């Protein structure tokens, strides 16, 4: 593959509302992010992805944008944003924004004008469709539950919203809409941001016949994704978007792409793809339930490992994916991918190691680097997330008790990752001097940045070493560009792989099991590059190695 400027970078996702509060109103903000840039620099971060900071009524936490050209007042002002860009630049950190262009907020001027005059120009900015026999145009269930169609007041039409009803879908078929979006994208790129994370982008191409499908749930509706899956021609939109915006700016773009058509990998993210990269969600979709979170399956080690290996092999030489353990839509990896016996400091380091040394660009999510976990809430009212409230109700409707439904939210809620960042053992975890907008996880006294900064064996100290190893002049050829080769694939407990670049070879070995593992190596180990235990250069038997439970080793192997 062609080398790109961003290949060697490490990215970090900030969820602004919960990262750091600079003015004491209990809500994270841009001033807070600026305060913490040195922290990110020290960790080894090169790219920061900001979840949406645009003006928004926050029905879906900023993924409902009411003005693409202004900053939400909760987060600060455009001057604050410019200062953030400038301060980040001083530290060699690039900022990428979230690009939410499948839909906007129902408070956006375009939608307000469309409602005022449904048959006018702005009605064409959205999908306004006639109903069928007093019913919506089709039987789609939105991502957040309920019909994906909502009545346009005072008409016989409905508007399409694949997410919440406050998030009307933008009509990409309308060239005026596309041009306005391209202008906006260019405006931000010209301001000096390095690129975008692109939200929910697979949804922009609809099947304009909006056919009904066989119902797939107890509500008698079917997932709106069915319609998107069979829509043809998204490539034209994405190609146009790229040529008019990203390409002339050499921007770095990472797509949130679910349900891509098979064989479209290179078209999407090959050397000349629509995007620079896209997230590898292969491990994440393993626990998707058929009807919701209530029938989601626990992740099993063998499946998880296989999903990662398959997708690494599948994109080798073709694409450079973005690897994550968690994000603002997922539970915490420490509470999800580690078997119960490994849900501890060493386990978290092990998980970080096998993920960050994969081929692809690592995206850390705030708090991952200190091992933040899922958060227990005592009542549904403590949750803010629209999706969680819907899933809670879905579980109740399916016959689960309140206690059971709450347990389900504890496992899968998006708010698990949205609790305030744990900076210290002080009140509110040092996140705010005010009243935090969302509950702080009770474990902040045990898990926080400040204590970990002073502890050379902490998760944070380990992440710094791990990132430094990946970026080191000696090893970056291997970890960034090297080939990925799985090892001990048949093992029930060990996740292992090689990274190889010419004569240089590294072997990563991780024991997710409960027992000690003895591994016969196919080559001699020369040196321990990294380990999550005290093992100090002690490689007595060079071709046979013992791994303690939850131990991870990164080895330099003989050439």
CB of residue 59 vs ligand GLC: minimum separation in angstroms?
10
Which of 60, 74, 80, 106 is the binder for ligand GLC (CB under 6 A)? 60
The CA distance from 351 to 300, in Å, is: 14
Distance CA 438, CA 420 (A): 7
- Of residues 199, 280, 415, 517, which one binds ligand GLC by CB under 6 A? 199
Asked if 329 is an active-site residue, the reply is no
Nearest residue to 452 via CA among 340, 368, 536: 368
For ligand GLC, the nearest residue by Cβ is 63
Residue 25 interacting partner from Ca ion, ligand GLC, none (CB closer than 5 to 8 Å by kind): Ca ion
- The binder of 12, among ligand GLC, Ca ion, none, by C-beta within 5 to 8 A per type, is none
Should residue 100 be labelled a site residue for ligand GLC when binding is judged by CB under 6 A? yes
Q: Is 260 in the site for ligand GLC (CB under 6 A)?
A: no
Q: Considering beta carbons, is residue 435 or 445 the nearer one to Ca ion?
A: 435
Which among 21, 129, 199, 330 is annotated as catalytic? 199
To the query of whether residue 199 is one of the catalytic residues in this protein, the response is: yes
- As a whole number of angstroms, the distance between CA 30 and CA 47 comes to 16
Candidate list 256, 280, 369, 387, residue with the active-site label = 256
Residue placing its CB nearer to ligand GLC in the complex, 84 or 162: 162
Q: Which is nearer to ligand GLC, 229 or 548 (CB)?
A: 229
Cβ-closest residue to Ca ion?
A: 29
Among 19, 63, 125, 172, binds ligand GLC (CB under 6 A): 63
The Cβ-side half-sphere exposure at 11, using a 13 Å CA radius, reads: 32
Query: Within positions 327 to 366, which residues make up the interface with ligand GLC, using CB under 6 A?
Result: 328-329
Can you state the angle between helices 234-241 and 175-191, rounded to 10 degrees?
40
Q: Which of residues 457-476 bind ligand GLC (CB under 6 A)?
A: none
Contacting positions for Ca ion (CB under 5 A): 21, 23, 25, 27, 29
**Nearer residue to ligand GLC within complex by CB, 167 or 312:** 167
- Binder of residue 256, out of ligand GLC, Ca ion, none (CB less than 5 to 8 A by kind): ligand GLC
Kindly compute the dihedral angle of the four CA atoms of residues 443, 445, 446, 451, in this order, to the nearest 10 degrees: 140
Q: H/E element holding 160? A: strand 157-160
What secondary structure, in 3-state letters, does 299-358 show? CCHHHHHHHHHHHHHHHCCCCCCEEECCCCCCCCHHHCCCCHHHCCHHHHHHHHHHHHCC
| Residue from 29, 46, 94, 256 binding ligand GLC (CB under 6 A) | 256
State the Cα–Cα distance between residues 351 and 358, nearest whole angstrom: 11
Binding mask 134-173 for ligand GLC (x = CB under 6 A): -----------------------------x----------
Closest CA to 483 of 462, 463, 469, 499: 499
| In the complex, least distance from residue 211 CB atom to ligand GLC, rounded to whole angstroms | 23
CA 85, CA 195: separation in Å to the nearest integer? 13
Phi, psi (deg, nearest 5) at residue 95: -110, 130
Among 40, 97, 170, 200, binds ligand GLC (CB under 6 A): 200
Nearest to 357 by CA among 265, 457, 465, 235: 465
**Residues acting as catalytic residues:** 199, 256
> Under the rule (CB under 6 A), what is the footprint of ligand GLC?
60, 63, 100, 163, 199-200, 256, 328-329
């Amino acid at each position: 593959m062609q080398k790109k400027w961003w290949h060697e970078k490490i990215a970090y996702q900030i969820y602004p509302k919960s990262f750091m509060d600079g003015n004491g109103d209990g809500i994270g903000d841009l001033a807070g992010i600026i305060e913490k840039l040195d922290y990110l620099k020290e960790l080894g971060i090169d790219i920061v992805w900001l979840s949406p900071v645009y003006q928004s009524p926050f029905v879906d936490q900023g993924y409902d944008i009411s003005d693409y050209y202004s900053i939400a007042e909760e987060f600060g002002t455009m001057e604050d944003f410019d200062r953030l860009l400038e301060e980040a630049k001083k530290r060699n950190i690039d900022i990428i924004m979230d690009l939410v262009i499948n839909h906007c907020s129902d408070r956006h001027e375009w939608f307000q004008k469309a409602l005022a005059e449904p048959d006018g120009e702005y009605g064409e900015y959205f999908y306004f469709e006639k109903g069928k026999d007093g019913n919506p145009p089709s039987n789609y269930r939105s991502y957040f539950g309920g019909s994906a169609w909502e009545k346009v007041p005072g008409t016989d039409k409905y508007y399409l919203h694949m997410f919440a009803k406050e998030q009307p879908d933008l009509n990409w078929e309308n060239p005026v809409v596309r041009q306005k979006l391209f202008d906006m994208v260019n405006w931000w790129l010209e301001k000096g941001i390095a690129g975008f994370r692109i939200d929910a982008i697979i949804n922009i191409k609809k099947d304009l016949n909006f056919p009904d499908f066989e119902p797939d749930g107890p509500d008698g509706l079917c997932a709106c994704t069915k319609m998107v899956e069979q829509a043809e021609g998204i490539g034209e939109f994405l190609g146009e978007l790229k040529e008019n915006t990203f390409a002339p700016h050499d921007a770095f773009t990472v797509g949130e792409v679910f349900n891509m058509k098979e064989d479209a990998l290179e078209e999407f993210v090959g050397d000349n793809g629509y995007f620079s990269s896209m997230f590898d969600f292969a491990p994440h979709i393993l626990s998707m339930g058929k009807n919701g979170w209530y029938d989601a399956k626990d992740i099993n080690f063998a499946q998880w490992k296989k999903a990662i290996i398959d997708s690494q092999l599948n994109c080798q030489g073709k694409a450079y994916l973005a690897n994550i353990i968690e994000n603002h839509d997922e539970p915490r990896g420490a509470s999800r991918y580690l078997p119960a016996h490994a849900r501890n400091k060493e386990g978290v380091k092990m998980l970080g190691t096998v993920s960050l040394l994969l081929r692809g660009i690592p995206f850390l999510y705030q708090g991952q680097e200190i091992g933040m976990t899922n958060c227990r809430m005592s009542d549904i009212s403590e949750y803010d997330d629209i999706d969680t409230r819907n899933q809670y109700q879905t579980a109740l409707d399916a016959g689960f008790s309140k206690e059971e439904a709450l347990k389900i939210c504890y496992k899968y809620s998006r708010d698990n990752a949205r609790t305030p960042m744990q900076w210290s053992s002080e009140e509110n975890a040092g996140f705010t001097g005010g009243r935090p907008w969302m509950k702080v996880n009770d474990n902040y006294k045990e898990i926080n940045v400040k204590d970990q900064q002073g502890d050379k064996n902490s998760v944070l100290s380990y992440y710094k070493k791990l990132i430094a190893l990946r970026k080191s002049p000696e090893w970056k050829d291997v970890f960034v560009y090297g080939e990925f080769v799985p090892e001990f694939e048949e093992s029930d407990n060990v996740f292992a792989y090689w990274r190889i670049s010419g004569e240089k070879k590294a072997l990563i070995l991780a024991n997710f099991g409960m027992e000690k593992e003895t591994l016969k190596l196919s080559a001699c180990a020369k040196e321990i590059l990294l380990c999550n235990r005290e093992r100090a250069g002690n490689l007595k038997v060079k071709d046979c190695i013992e791994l303690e439970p939850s131990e991870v080793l990164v080895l330099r192997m003989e050439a």
